[in-house]
């Protein structure tokens, strides 16, 4: 086994097992050492860096539970090689709120009862934030399309759409429930 290449910013192409690199996550630098090149970003976030907010469910890009933002775009971190994310800005749910409190989307999920088992919730929160960042007043179709990559098997999505309604209403400044 070769010595890990700690803090290198280029992934190595050694056939040997381990590599080292640094990832830029939520504004901070996170060194990764002794990693295998085939580890997904999801795996490295959860198992090496103590960031378990992105959930590991299908590992096939179908459920959206592992959604993170990579260089400004929402992706499934299970299908990103962590080593391929070197040089990219990664945003996870842990970094959504600067003060550690809840974002307005998270609060709305609580208020609307949009969380049951909770496994899909962090991915859905990431998707809803991503949609509202670019589309502050989404149509019904845009809302459905925006969360079509996030599977929830508990809620039937009704409460999740209620949560989106709440955020949109609150952000627009009108009193909740007003039409």
Partner 1 sequence: MSGVAFAYSRAADVADAVARGGAPGAAFVAGGTDLLQLWKAGRATPTELIDVYGLGLDGIGVDGDELSIGATARLSDVARHPFVVDQHPLIAEAVLASASGQIRNMATVGGNLLQRTRCPYFRTAGMACNKHRPGSGCGALDGEDRHAALFGAGSSCVATHPSDLAVALVALDATVEVSGARGVRRVGLSELYRLPGERPDVDTTLAAGELITRVLVPRAASIGRLATYVKVRDRASFEFALLSVAAVIRIDAGTIVHARLVCGGVAPAPWRLPAGEALLIGQKPERGVFTVAAAAAVEGAPPLPGNSFKVELLRRALVRTLTTIATGS
- Binding residues for partner 1, rule: CB under 8 A, are 10-11, 13-15, 17, 36-40, 43, 59-62, 64, 67, 73-76, 79-81, 83-84, 127, 130, 144-146, 148-150
Least separation in angstroms between residue 52's CB and partner 1 is 16
**Shortest CA distance to 122 belongs to which of 41, 54, 35, 33?**
54
Of 42 and 112, which has the nearer Cβ to partner 1?
42
**Shortest CA distance to 35 belongs to which of 49, 24, 25, 50?**
49
Least separation in angstroms between residue 101's CB and partner 1 is 26
Least separation in angstroms between residue 116's CB and partner 1 is 21
Of 111 and 157, which has the nearer Cβ to partner 1?
157
How distant, in Å, are the alpha carbons of 5, 115, 161 from that of 14? 11, 44, 48
Least separation in angstroms between residue 13's CB and partner 1 is 4
β-pairing verdict for 73-76 and 67-70: antiparallel
Of 39 and 111, which has the nearer Cβ to partner 1?
39
How does DSSP assign 111-168, residue by residue?
HHT--SS-TTHHHHHHHHHHHHHH-SS--HHHHHHHTTTS--SSSTTHHHHHHHHHHH
First vs last Cα of the chain: how many Å apart?
65
Least separation in angstroms between residue 131's CB and partner 1 is 8
Of 71 and 174, which has the nearer Cβ to partner 1?
71
Of 126 and 163, which has the nearer Cβ to partner 1?
126
């Amino acid at each position: 086994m070769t010595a890990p290449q700690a803090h290198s910013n280029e992934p190595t192409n050694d056939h040997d097992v381990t590599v080292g690199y640094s990832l830029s996550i939520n504004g901070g630098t996170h060194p990764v050492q002794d990693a295998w090149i085939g580890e997904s970003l999801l795996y490295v976030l959860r198992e090496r860096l103590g960031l378990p907010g992105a959930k590991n469910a299908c590992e096939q890009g179908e459920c959206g539970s592992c959604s993170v933002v990579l260089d400004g775009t929402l992706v499934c971190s299970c299908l990103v090689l962590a080593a391929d994310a070197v040089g990219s800005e990664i945003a996870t749910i842990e970094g959504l709120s600067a003060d550690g409190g809840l974002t307005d989307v998270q609060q709305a999920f609580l208020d609307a009862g949009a969380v049951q088992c909770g496994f899909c919730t962090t991915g859905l929160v990431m998707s809803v934030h991503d949609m509202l960042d670019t589309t502050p007043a989404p149509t019904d179709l845009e809302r459905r399309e925006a969360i079509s990559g996030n599977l929830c098997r508990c809620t039937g999505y009704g409460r999740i759409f209620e949560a989106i309604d709440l955020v949109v209403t609150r952000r627009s400044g009108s009193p909740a429930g007003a039409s």
